[in-house]
Every structure is written in C-alpha cells, then in structure tokens.
Amino acid sequence: MLAEYRKIVHELNDAFYEYYMYYNKVAKKLDEFQLTLQQENLLQYIIRNERVTVNEIAAFFSITKSAVSQVLSHLESRTFIRRESNPEDRRESFILLGEAGQKYAELMDEADEAFVKQYFSQIDMSVLEQMLETIKKVNRAIKESADTESR
C-alpha cells in the first residue's frame, strides 16, 4: 500500500517539476531580475500579502527573522520592496512593493494571463477546481502534521 503512495508522490513531484519548467518558459522575462530562489519566494509572498511584517514572513516560511531581514535588505537595495513604519508600533515595519517589485508583479500577472489563455482555458473548469481542492487538502494535511510535530 505504501509503495502505491510513493509511486503517486513521485509522479506528482515529476508533474510539478514539469509544470514549473513550462511556466518558467512562459515567464522568461522574470529571469532578467536575477533573483535567487529565496528572494523570489519572499517577493512572491509579499506580492500576495502586501503590508506584511518580518515576523509574519518568518512564521510563514519557518525561518528566522534575521534570515528574512537579510533577504529583505537585498530586495530593498534593488527597490523590489520598501518599508513603512507601523504607526501603532514604531519598532515594526510593514513590507510593501517597491518600484522593481511592482514591475515584477506586473510581469508575473502577464505570464499568468498567457498561461491561462494558452493552456488552462483548454481544461474543463470542474477538473481544475477538483485539482485545486486536492492540492489544498494535501497542504492542510502537511500543515496539520507540522503543527502537531512542533508542539
């Protein structure tokens, strides 16, 4: 029984990798920003959750605030992000998109739009919705397991 699950997980990993490779071909313009994977991951999180704090980012990625600050300093120096003081707590800053970050977000939107038009629009919506629900269910199981282990 476990062997069947391992086989499916292996095939899922292959499928996710292949999807990532295809998406990157469509999103080739993003390569010109020359971001590391860690910088890209943090920036994409900020794009989806603007006005976050270092604490929130660290908690989401399960990394130290120091590690987050190092990446953010680099992104800030290249105008991908900017910091805005929290008026209710001056010791805390909100992380917002800077000029380069906004350009990156626009190019991501363009790549997503192209991907939807070229590929996703050919697949029945109910199939995509089922796939999304299945991935969310797997993510919930992983998160619940991680939460249980950290207690």
Encode pLDDT of 16-61 as tens digits.
999 988 888 878 888 899 999 999 999 999 999 989 999 999 999 9
Amino acid, res. 13? N
Going from the C-alpha of 110 to that of each of 67, 116, 122, the distances in angstroms are 30, 10, 18
Q: CA–CA separation, 42 vs 119, rounded Å? A: 27
Least confident piece of the model among 10-14, 55-59, 86-90, 145-149: 145-149
Helix, coil or strand: residue 51: coil
Q: What is the pLDDT of residue 29?
A: 87
Architecture of domain 2-118: Orthogonal Bundle (1.10)
Q: What is the pLDDT of residue 151?
A: 63
CA nearest 114: which of 27, 48, 33? Answer: 27
Instruction: Please state whether the predicted TM-score (pTM) of the whole model is above 0.85.
Output: no
pLDDT digits (tens, 9 = 90+) for 114-128: 989 999 999 999 999
Scanning the chain, the segments in alpha helix (DSSP H) are: 2-26, 37-48, 54-61, 65-77, 99-118, 125-149
Domain spans, the chain: 2-118
